[in-house]
Amino acid sequence: MADKTVSAESGSTLRTLLNLKPYMWPAERGDLRMRVVWATVYLVVSKLVLIAVPYFFKWSTDALVGDHARTPPLPDWLLVPAALVIAYNLVRLIQVGLNQLRDALFASVGQYAVRKLAYKTFVHMHDLSLRFHLERRTGGLSRIIERGVKGIETIVRFTILNTLPTILEFALTAVIFAVAYGWIYVAVVAVTVALYTWFTVWASDWRIAIRREMNDSDTDANTKAIDSLLNYETVKYFNNERMEANRFDHSMARYEAAATKTWTSLGWLNFGQGVIFGAGMLIIMLLSAREVQAGTQTIGDFVFLNAMLMQLSVPLNFIGFIYREIRQGLTDIEQMFDLLDVPAEIVDKPDAKPLAVGPGRVEFRDVHFSYDPKREILKGISFDVPAGKTVAIVGPSGAGKSTISRLLFRFYDIQSGQISIDGQDIRDLTQESLRGAIGMVPQDTVLFNDTIAYNIRYGRFDASEEDIRKAADLAQIGPFIAHQPEGYKTMVGERGLKLSGGEKQRVAIARTILKAPPILMLDEATSALDSHTELEIQAALDMVSRGRTTIVIAHRLSTVISADEIIVLKDGRIAERGHHIDLLAKDGLYASMWARQREATEAEERLRIARQEDDLGVIVRRRTPEVG
């Protein structure tokens, strides 16, 4: 079982690294590839310069103690201790400058990779089906994308900027030790590096599981926080602030425990690395000290070996750091690449054509559909919506009314049958052209947290300011906007919560007017409004639908009495169809629904009148003087 787990981990890591290749070496950007090349050149040069630094340290030390036996054949002025000290610091400064130049060259490569992956993920999220988004939580998705974007920058940067120089520095150090001091020194360094690397990899793998637990807790806490804030009003309605806080705190407690383990394990990792490297340095320094006493090495050699080991400790430390960062980065972007691997449920056919917009006739032919194979929603639905006519679809809750709008927009594909527009099967069309020909005014209008102008312009982004004003006036929201201090620049708030239900619906109508689609879908557009607002919105909708092929999904039957045809759904089938008067005459399902709604409306009206009379009576009693 353990072997299978390791194999799965390795396969996942390899797959993720292969997915990263286009971002590390962008094929479409030759300028960025040249930056990678030049950054690598400066990287190599900086390591060669870095190797020279301990030599100046050695020579200046030997010069200070008066031992010139092993100093190189340099000019006398350079053998002066002060000159050697200056040269030592100058070389270090050059090495730092080369590193900064390397980082500056590579900065645009890393940021380009971040932008490309973020863009690709964002587009992919919109390509995925409605089913996927209904099953996932927005807060969790946003945190996965946020961590993944940061993770790719870490991986791309450390893979190119640190892995190659670390390997190069090890190789140069081994060559110098072997040539100048013998293979015993190389052997000690090799064993130290091997033990250090093994321990780092082992401890880092142990920490990865802790990191995953911390990420899961973080995602869960973020999901609960966003979900709670998006439902702010519901929380207040039910006085559940304490419950929401406890749920969030429970998730944060898991995060706290995992984060504490993460930092504690890091402490043990650093301590173990220090012990291994310290043991290797101790052996090297003891060997060198013995040879200095024997006269086979100078004090400068002792200092040189110490300086080389101290320099070696930096890339050694980077081995652990690089490995941890890459593995943690892989952990962070693993879920993002899993998202990118999720196939889009609804895709255009290879030979899909744009919709040839005609009169706008909509046809459903023997349509069968189910969200779950075990429960069929639509059971052989067939109806026509002639061009320029209005067809209303009514029925009890769960009859499949809203499913029809989702299928027309092709958020889902039907199991059998056909849906066509002007004789063209929507499965043979591009989704972009299909949805561009249909306008939607939904029951629950959700606006973007931007200005009123932005939300109206969403119907057609190339619209002029004059077009926006005309659409607003036609939707009967122009006067309301004119009375706002900021006018069309008024912010609507999160999901449009600064506007009333009627105002949001008018904005939705305005942007649909601006889109000017040949086909209009009204999905219970007035069911959540009061009677007075409903009449105003209905008047605007009647004007918008004039001359357009319109499908109305209605809850309140009073809004569809003028429809050219009314289709009554029950249990996924068409139970009745016809004009309002004809359906009432049949005394069937539609007639019973109409009677119940009339009774409810009359009861509401009687209650309203009674309340008005009570209020009037209170006012009269207050104004009548007492006699006594």
Per-domain residue ranges for the chain?
A: 21-341, 357-437+519-588, 445-516
Q: Confirm whether 357-437+519-588 and 445-516 share one CATH topology.
A: yes
Q: Is the pLDDT of residue 561 over 80?
A: yes
Structure tokens at 211: 């990191």
Q: Is the pLDDT of residue 352 over 80?
A: yes
Structure tokens at 101: 């130049």
Chain mean pLDDT for the chain? 79
What is the predicted pLDDT for the residue at 605?
A: 66
The C-alpha atoms of residue 463 and residue 448 are separated, in whole angstroms, by 18
Residues 357-437+519-588: name the CATH superfamily: P-loop containing nucleotide triphosphate hydrolases (3.40.50.300)
Query: What are the Cα distances from residue 105, in Å, to 36, 40, 161?
Result: 7, 10, 11
What is the predicted pLDDT for the residue at 421?
A: 92
- The pLDDT tens digits for 410-432 are 988 999 999 999 999 999 999 98
Which one is predicted more confidently, 422 or 267? Answer: 422
Return the minimum-mean-pLDDT range out of 114-123, 423-432, 530-539, 544-553. Answer: 530-539
Q: Is the pLDDT of residue 367 over 90?
A: yes
pLDDT band at 460 (very low <50, low <70, confident <90, very high): confident
Q: Is the Cβ–Cβ distance between 494 and 524 less than 8 Å?
A: no
What is the predicted pLDDT for the residue at 627?
A: 46
Q: Is the pLDDT of residue 522 over 60?
A: yes
Q: Nearest CA to 398 among 373, 415, 375, 367?
A: 375
- The pLDDT tens digits for 564-588 are 999 999 888 999 999 989 899 988 8
What is the predicted pLDDT for the residue at 426?
A: 92
Q: What is the arithmetic mean of pLDDT over 20-45?
A: 79
Q: Is the pLDDT of residue 271 over 80?
A: yes
Which one is predicted more confidently, 421 or 147? Answer: 421
Q: Is the Cβ–Cβ distance between 181 and 243 less than 8 Å?
A: no
Which one is predicted more confidently, 176 or 68? Answer: 176
pLDDT band at 383 (very low <50, low <70, confident <90, very high): very high
Q: Which residues of 148-169 are buried (b: 16+ CB within 10 A; e: fewer)?
A: bbebbbbbbbbbbbbbebbebb
- The pLDDT tens digits for 154-201 are 776 676 667 777 777 778 888 888 887 888 888 888 898 889 888 888
| Helix or strand holding residue 41 (H, E) | helix 30-64
Quick one: angle between helices 299-341 and 241-294, nearest 10? 150
Q: What phi and psi, each to the nearest 5 degrees, are found at residue 367?
A: -80, 125
What is the predicted pLDDT for the residue at 347?
A: 87
Contacts of 103 (CB under 8 A, 6+ apart): 39, 161
Q: Is the pLDDT of residue 207 over 80?
A: no
pLDDT band at 70 (very low <50, low <70, confident <90, very high): low
Q: What is the arithmetic mean of pLDDT over 469-486?
A: 86
Q: Is the pLDDT of residue 320 over 80?
A: no
What is the predicted pLDDT for the residue at 262?
A: 80
What is the predicted pLDDT for the residue at 144?
A: 76
Q: Where are the beta strands (DSSP E) in 323-456?
A: 362-369, 378-385, 390-394, 416-421, 424-425, 438-442
Instruction: Please provide the CATH number assigned to the domain covering 21-341.
Output: 1.20.1560.10
What is the predicted pLDDT for the residue at 5?
A: 38
Q: Is the pLDDT of residue 267 over 60?
A: yes
Pick the CATH number of 445-516 from 3.40.50.300, 3.90.1720.10, 3.50.50.60, 1.10.1200.10: 3.40.50.300
Q: Is the pLDDT of residue 602 over 60?
A: yes
The C-alpha atoms of residue 168 and residue 53 are separated, in whole angstroms, by 16
Q: What is the arithmetic mean of pLDDT over 245-269?
A: 84
Of the chain, the percentage scoring pLDDT greater than 90 comes to 7
| Helix or strand holding residue 82 (H, E) | helix 81-127
Strand partners, 567: 393, 577
What is the predicted pLDDT for the residue at 10?
A: 47
Q: Which residues of 444-481 are buried (b: 16+ CB within 10 A; e: fewer)?
A: ebebeeebbbbbbbbbbeebeeebbbbbbebbbbbebb
The C-alpha atoms of residue 565 and residue 394 are separated, in whole angstroms, by 11
What is the predicted pLDDT for the residue at 530?
A: 60
